[in-house]
């Protein structure tokens, strides 16, 4: 079997990869739907794939894995890797988990970081509690919920004096606020630089965390995404302040998202001095960049994203190495979409005992549920997804998907 073509289409906002072969078997992969710019990065690898045997997944990946680092190339490489496994599974008439050594669990635990709702009113501990309760009451019955707080999302931006000093400047280097809302003009998920958190900002953060945990009780675990951009001293203060709450983990406090480096030593300094689990890893590309985190026991939980780290097999390698070092794994995946969801399920079925749960993946538009066949219905039951046994990823596009293709991609499914 030989690869005859590599295609990439942006369906909705989602970059979707299709690899065709001379035997009529094809495979799909995708990147996070926050990356609609990814198409040229995927097609960069096309000349290196044509003529290769797609069932030799590792051999093909060795040709392209070294060419690019972190985002966005890591996302392109990861999407291609998933599509190769899809073909390999179909060719063998086996689900991907069989090709990875077989499953160790019949159902996989997922946590909710993607089915979110806007706050009912302004930021406050009371409204964070109401919002978290709404997530708790979802039909999926999630046993772990992750909320964004501190520097993650708009939490810090919505609090006028969250940091000492100015973070947002105009041309005169003075802080700029909107006259009506008193919010910084550069309202954004990404704080451009850090500073020390004020005493009242710190107290407000802890008040919101305690309010969320109170409505969850011991029935549902609470994980928190707090960064990136928190100084290690503040990260440790937050971690120690919530030690009595049995928080699942504090995620990406120092680095994360689009940070192109790891800073394992800084994470280690925090982790060694608190009983609250510390987590990072969604931004990292390849096993090599997890080495310091794992060797130094710099975190308690790693969270590689299969659609960024290099693919399914790369994530499994990291999970096995972390397990030998007493570190848990909770893969990132909130915007990995439905193809990504299928990849997560196949992977999670094979992961070692350090597996906690993967972040439930949601699509960019609800109509994705209408164009993909093969997923269970309902997908999640009591926070678990049953592992299916159909070949490859076990999912496929139906004819309804064609109407969402752009004119330039009309031959994508051919």
What pLDDT score was predicted for residue 167? Answer: 61
Same domain flag for 44 and 124: no
Same domain flag for 53 and 115: no
What pLDDT score was predicted for residue 172? Answer: 43
Tell me the CA distances in angstroms from 86 to 82, 98, 311, 392, one per residue in order.
Answer: 6, 12, 12, 4
Domain holding 32: CATH number?
Answer: 3.30.390.10
* Residue 365 belongs to a domain: yes
Same domain flag for 137 and 76: no
Query: Which segments within 244-362 are labelled E, that is strand?
Result: 250-251, 278-280, 301-302, 328-329, 358-359
What letters, b where the CB count within 10 A reaches 16 and e where it falls short, cover 236-253?
Answer: bbbbebbeebebbbbbbb
Same domain flag for 90 and 130: no
User: Which pTM was predicted?
Assistant: 0.94
Same domain flag for 114 and 76: no
Walk along the chain (414 residues) in steps of 10 and give the mean pLDDT of each run.
98 98 98 95 97 98 87 93 98 98 98 93 94 98 97 84 70 39 39 79 97 97 95 97 98 91 97 98 95 98 98 98 98 97 98 98 97 98 98 98 97 97
Same domain flag for 77 and 130: no
Task: With residue 385 as reference, give the H or E element that holds it.
Answer: strand 384-386
What pLDDT score was predicted for residue 250? Answer: 98
Same domain flag for 84 and 7: yes
Same domain flag for 52 and 165: no
Same domain flag for 124 and 214: yes
Same domain flag for 85 and 149: no
* Residue 175 belongs to a domain: yes
User: Got the DSSP string for 208-221?
Assistant: HHHHHHHHHTTTSE
- Number of domains into which the chain is organized: 2
* Residue 127 belongs to a domain: yes
* Residue 307 belongs to a domain: yes
Same domain flag for 109 and 43: no
Q: Torsion angle of alpha carbons 70, 72, 77, 81, nearest 10°?
A: 100
* Residue 414 belongs to a domain: no
Edge-to-edge strand list for the sheet holding 358-359: 358-359, 107-111, 384-386
What pLDDT score was predicted for residue 169? Answer: 43
Spatial separation of the C-alpha atoms in residues 204 and 190, rounded to whole Å: 20
Strand partners, 336: none
Same domain flag for 217 and 118: yes
Domain holding 224: CATH number?
Answer: 3.20.20.120
- Containing domain of residue 251, as a range? 99-393
* Residue 51 belongs to a domain: yes
Residue whose token pair is 């003075």: 174
Q: Which has the closest alpha carbon to 27: 293, 404, 380, 396?
A: 396
What pLDDT score was predicted for residue 180? Answer: 38
């Amino acid at each position: 079997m030989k690869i005859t073509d590599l295609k990439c289409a942006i369906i909705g906002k989602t970059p979707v990869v299709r690899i065709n072969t001379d035997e009529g078997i094809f495979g799909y992969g995708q990147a996070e739907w926050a990356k609609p710019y990814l198409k040229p990065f995927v097609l960069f690898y096309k000349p290196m794939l044509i003529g290769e045997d797609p069932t030799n997944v590792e051999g093909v990946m060795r040709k392209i894995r070294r060419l690019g680092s972190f985002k966005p190339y890591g996302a392109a490489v990861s999407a291609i890797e998933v599509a190769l496994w899809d073909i390999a599974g179909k060719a063998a008439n086996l689900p991907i988990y069989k090709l990875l050594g077989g499953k160790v669990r019949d159902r996989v635990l997922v946590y909710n970081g993607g089915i979110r709702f806007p706050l009912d009113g302004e930021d406050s501990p009371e409204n964070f509690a109401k919002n978290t309760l709404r997530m708790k009451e979802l039909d999926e019955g999630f046993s772990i919920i992750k909320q964004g707080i501190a520097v993650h999302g708009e939490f810090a931006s919505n609090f006028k004096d969250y940091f000492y000093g100015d973070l947002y400047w105009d041309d005169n280097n003075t802080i700029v606020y909107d006259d009506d809302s008193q919010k910084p003009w550069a309202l954004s998920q990404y704080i451009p630089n850090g500073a020390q958190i004020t005493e009242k900002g710190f107290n407000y953060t802890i008040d919101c965390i305690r309010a969320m945990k109170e409505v969850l009780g011991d029935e549902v675990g609470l994980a928190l995404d707090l960064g990136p951009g928190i100084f290690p001293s503040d990260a440790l203060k937050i971690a120690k302040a919530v030690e009595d709450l049995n928080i699942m983990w504090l995620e990406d406090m120092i680095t994360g998202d689009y940070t192109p480096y790891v800073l394992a030593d800084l994470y280690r300094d925090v982790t060694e001095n608190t009983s609250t689990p510390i987590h990072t890893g969604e931004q990292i590309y390849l096993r090599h960049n997890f080495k310091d985190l794992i060797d130094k026991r710099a975190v308690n939980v790693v969270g590689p994203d299969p659609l960024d780290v290099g693919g399914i097999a790369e994530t499994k390698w990291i999970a096995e190495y972390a397990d030998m070092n007493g570190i848990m794994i909770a893969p990132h995946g909130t915007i990995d979409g439905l193809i990504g969801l299928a990849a997560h399920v196949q992977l999670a079925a094979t992961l070692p005992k350090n597996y906690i749960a993967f972040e439930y993946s949601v699509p960019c538009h609800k109509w994705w549920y209408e164009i993909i066949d093969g997923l269970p219905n309902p997908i999640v039951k009591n926070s678990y997804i049953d592992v299916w046994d159909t070949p490859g990823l076990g999912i496929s596009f139906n004819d309804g998907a064609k109407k969402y293709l752009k004119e330039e991609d009309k031959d994508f499914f051919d």
